[in-house]
Amino acid sequence: MSMPDHSGPSSGPQTPPTTPAPRRAPSHQLWLGLALVLAGCTFLLDSLHLVELRHYLPFWPVLIIALGAARLLTAAPNDKGEQVVGGVLLAIGCFLLFRRLGWLHMDFRDLWPLFLIGVGGMLLTRRPGQGGMPGKAGLFGHGRQDHPGGPLDVKAVLSGQQVRVQAQDFTGGQVQVALGGVELDLSQAGFQRAVIDVSLVMAGLELRVPTDCRVRVTASSVLGQVEDKTHPPLAAARELEVRGSLVLGGITIRH
């Protein structure tokens, strides 16, 4: 008596195994990485005496202009925070370049009235009773709020924000700060793994995390600093990844 042969191909439809799509880096991180690669190549060519870097040093603000223009071009139409950061970088780069070329005979201390004009203009254009939305901190001004749930979206320009997350299904979000500071409290948040995409330009971010959380910082930095004051747990139950970019900014992590 012969046994039935089950080695043949199955007659039912077979679905090919799906592979997860590779995760792309944020656009501003790509532009920052490209700028660092170009700068490194330039210094390498100067070390090999293939180019005279001293002839191009007066034009170093062009790098800031390029970074600001890239962030403006890649920003979403409704992403006001990214647009403001790009505009600030573009304005600073143009100011420094014009001074280098002798087209502008002014100093930063001569432009301080522009700060008053900008703040006054923002107050005039702000609608009465306009406030922050749940999960989204205000762009200008100082504020404190609780984030109930959903993707985190914090933007601060020339201001400070204090945000406390208590959602038990927290997955992450983004924090964009220019010329300001943000305190983000995740000590009461519930998550297994969360990812926060940061963009700091001359700004600071303070993170408070649970005691059983391991923090992994993969953000690229240009003249920035990351200070981790936490005690790594022996057996971490959850993980927080901080990625993005720091330009003259700092991140402090504590329990």
Domain that holds residue 97: 27-125
For residue 226, count other CB atoms closer than 10 A to its CB. Answer: 16
How many whole angstroms separate alpha carbon 193 and alpha carbon 191? 6
183 sits in which H/E element: strand 181-185
Tell me how many domains the chain contains: 2
Q: pTM (2 decimals)? A: 0.56
| Residue 9 in domain | no
How many whole angstroms separate alpha carbon 233 and alpha carbon 129? 44
| Residue 88 in domain | yes
Residues 117 and 176 in one domain: no
Contact 135, 189 (CB under 8 A): no
pLDDT of amino acid 195: 94
How many whole angstroms separate alpha carbon 180 and alpha carbon 223? 17
- pLDDT tens, residue by residue, 18-64: 444 444 445 556 666 777 787 788 778 878 878 777 777 778 888 88
* Mean of pLDDT values over 153-166: 86
- pLDDT tens, residue by residue, 216-238: 999 988 878 899 888 877 777 88
DSSP code of residue 71: H
pLDDT of amino acid 70: 78
Contact 237, 212 (CB under 8 A): yes
Residues 149 and 250 in one domain: yes
Residues 246 and 210 in one domain: yes
Residues 153 and 222 in one domain: yes
- pLDDT tens, residue by residue, 171-221: 999 998 888 889 999 999 999 999 999 988 888 999 999 988 899 999 988
Highest mean pLDDT among 77-91, 121-135, 152-166: 152-166
Q: In the chain, how many H helices and how many E strands?
A: 4, 12
Burial bucket for residue 188 (CB in 10 Å: 0-12, 13-18, 19+): middle
pLDDT of amino acid 120: 66
How many whole angstroms separate alpha carbon 156 and alpha carbon 90? 18
- Residue at a domain's end among 69, 99, 125: 125
Residues 97 and 165 in one domain: no
| Residue 208 in domain | yes
pLDDT of amino acid 202: 83
Contact 131, 153 (CB under 8 A): no
What's at 83, amino acid-wise? Q
| Residue 178 in domain | yes
Residues 87 and 174 in one domain: no
| Residue 7 in domain | no
Residues 114 and 214 in one domain: no
Residues 196 and 242 in one domain: yes
> Which two structure tokens, joined as six digits, stand for 202?
């001359």
- pLDDT tens, residue by residue, 60-113: 888 888 878 877 777 777 776 677 777 888 888 888 888 888 887 777 677 667
| Residue 17 in domain | no
Burial bucket for residue 150 (CB in 10 Å: 0-12, 13-18, 19+): middle
**Quick one: CA dihedral 62, 180, 224, 136, positive or negative?**
negative
How many whole angstroms separate alpha carbon 232 and alpha carbon 240? 12
Ramachandran angles phi, psi of 21, nearest 5°: -70, 140
- Residue at a domain's end among 125, 160, 182: 125
pLDDT of amino acid 26: 52
| Residue 135 in domain | no
| Residue 60 in domain | yes
pLDDT of amino acid 207: 93
Residues 112 and 195 in one domain: no
Residues 31 and 89 in one domain: yes
